[in-house]
Copies of this chain bind each other. A is one copy, B any other.
Amino acid sequence: MDEVNASIITIGDELLIGQTVDTNSAFIGQEFNKIGIWVKRRIAIGDVKEDILSTMEDQSKVAQVIIITGGLGPTADDITKPALCEYFGATLILDKKVEAHVASIFAKFNRQMTERNVKQAEVPGNCTVLHNARGTAPGMWFEKEGVVYISLPGVPVEMMGLIENEVVPKLKEKFVLPQIIHRTALTFGYPESGLADILLPFETGLPQHIKLAYLPNYRMVKLRLTGKGNDRQKLEQEIEGQFEGLKKYVAEWLVGDKDVSIVELVGNLLDERKQVVATAESCTGGYIAHLLTSRPGSSRTFKGGVVSYANEVKEATLHVQHKTIAAHGAVSKETVTEMANGILKMMKVDYAIATSGVMGPDGGTEAKPVGTVWIAVANKNKTVARRHFVNTDRKRNIEVTASIALNMLRQMIVAENE
């Protein structure tokens, strides 16, 4: 069985000038990885026909699957379809099924179909149309000299639907693919370089077909083992053995052994225990509540929260005492402790999270510089409050604070149940 390699070509000036962040490639990389197709290169180019043609030609030498995204929208600058026609020596034909689909979408939204929209139903004559259930631009599948070319619209939700429902099933039919198994250990609070030192002997001892990757993210480092082989059962046993070894090395910082985010980890713990949390946020401004409610079904585990940005709100809504803020300041152990206990009682929940800090760029003082943050978690028996420093930009300071706060909650839940 040969390895199947893929290249992703993304088309659009908006990617090159940085107006759009390319999340499509990450999604495709993940989905292909799951089925044992290796993305070896990702190339972003502008809306220039010559660049599209030469990049397709170049990639056909190193990849068996070439995914092309973008350049299929209804606006005037689109040049992907003419480029595809030239590359394959084909001409555009109107696909009646696609035309009917586009018309049905316009009918649904009671909008007038224009010539521009009808043109979306034109495809190169040599392609197999991939049905885009979520939009008007069809996906297209081409084969030439043993290479598969797949052209998809750049709108993420449409591209994702096409990959899941059309592209992956067809690729599995077309190629004989290897078995791929991932196992991921989650660590929190220890830096990547430190973990790498500790894991050096482990990593050195890994067989060739099993790789270890470090994936740091907001004070969490994911350690991922990836194994590749033909015999799934044998590979599973092997990975399982190595994974147990890996976990022993990092036991001190281990927080989970499934590939989930800290928010999913906490949400799953709460779900299992049928417990509920509420938030009292100052510096994180609602971001922790947002994270907790980003999980489907979060109404089971999240009851509500208060964003007490102004001190007046901390006092009036959360019943933080005026004298506490006057004596210790809003960014203090005493204030977050009262915030946590205030929301705990107000919302009648099992756990509370409270944050207060200086996220920057302004507002720091000598005693409490930008990046100083107090975080408290509480249940009916106890409150834990800790000071942390987060020191990058405002956006990331908020995100890291949320991540630390969720890990403090995780610790409290786990400790309570031990």
* Contact surface of A with B, Cβ cutoff 8 Å: 13-23, 25-31, 33, 38-46, 51, 73-76, 114, 116-117, 134, 157, 192-193, 196-197, 200, 203, 213-215, 224, 279, 281, 284-290, 292-294, 296-299, 302-310, 312-313, 316-317, 346-347, 360-362, 392-396, 398
Pairwise interchain contact B285-A287, C-beta atoms closer than 8 A: no
9 A–B contacts from the bound complex (CB under 8 Å): A15-B29, A15-B42, A17-B33, A17-B39, A20-B26, A114-B193, A114-B197, A303-B309, A307-B307
B30 touches A26 (CB 8 A): no
A4 to B303, alpha carbons, bound, how many Å?
55
A279 to B304, CA, bound (A): 13
Which residues of B lie under 8 Å from residue A38 when comparing CB positions? 16
Instruction: Please state if B46 and A33 are interface contacts (CB–CB under 8 Å).
Output: no
A17 to B180, CA, bound (A): 12
Alpha-carbon gap, A293 to B197, bound state (A):
39
B44 & A16 in contact (Cβ 8 Å cutoff): no
Q: Which residues of B contact A394 (CB under 8 A)?
A: 294, 296
Contact between B294 and A19 (Cβ–Cβ < 8 Å)?
no
Residues of B within 8 A of A296 (CB): 360-362, 394
List the 10 closest pairs (A to B, CB-CB), nearest first. Answer: A285-B293, A18-B29, A286-B289, A286-B286, A18-B30, A304-B313, A74-B193, A42-B44, A18-B26, A305-B307
Are B14 and A215 neighbours in the complex by a CB distance under 8 Å?
yes
Across-interface contacts of A289 in B (CB, < 8 A): 285-286, 289, 307, 309
Contacting pair A285 B294 (CB below 8 A) = yes
CB-nearest residue of chain B to A301: B309
Which single member of B73, B203, B213, B308 contacts A13 (CB below 8 Å)? B213
Q: With a 10 A CB-CB cut-off, give which of A20, A51, A76, A317 has the most chain B CB atoms.
A: A76
In the complex, chain B residues whose CB is within 8 Å of the CB of A290? 284-287, 290, 398
Query: Which of chain B's residues has its CB closest to A21's CB?
Result: B26
B21 touches A215 (CB 8 A): no
> Which chain B residues border A73 with CB–CB below 8 Å?
192-193
Interface contact B21-A22, CB-CB below 8 Å? yes
By a CB distance below 8 angstroms, the chain B residues around A44 are 25, 41-43
Q: A197-B114, A285-B294, A289-B286 are in contact. Are A16 and B29 (CB under 8 A)?
A: yes
Which residues on B sit within 8 Å (CB–CB) of A346? 316-317
- A359–B306 alpha-carbon span in the complex (Å): 21
Instruction: Determine if B285 and A307 form an interchain contact, defined as CB atoms under 8 angstroms apart.
Output: no
Least distance between A261 CB and chain B CB atoms (Å):
12
Q: Give A194 Cβ to nearest chain B Cβ, in Å.
A: 8
- Are the CB atoms of B299 and A303 closer together than 8 Å? no
- CB neighbours (8 Å) of A302 from chain B are 285, 309
B contact residues around A398 at 8 Å (CB): 290, 293-294
CA distance A74 to B74 in the complex (A): 46
Cα distance, A318 to B51, chains bound together (Å): 58
Contact check, A196 vs B42: say whether CB atoms are below 8 A apart: no
Residues of B within 8 A of A305 (CB): 286, 306-307, 309
B29 touching A40 by the CB < 8 A rule?
no
A44 to B347, CA, bound (A): 48
Residues of B within 8 A of A361 (CB): 296
Interfacial chain B residues near A286, Cβ < 8 Å: 279, 281, 286-290, 293, 305, 307
Contact between B306 and A304 (Cβ–Cβ < 8 Å)? yes
Cβ–Cβ < 8 Å partners of A312 in chain B:
303
A16, A76, A313: most-surrounded residue (chain B CB, <10 A): A16
Q: A304–B299 Cα gap in the complex (Å)?
A: 22
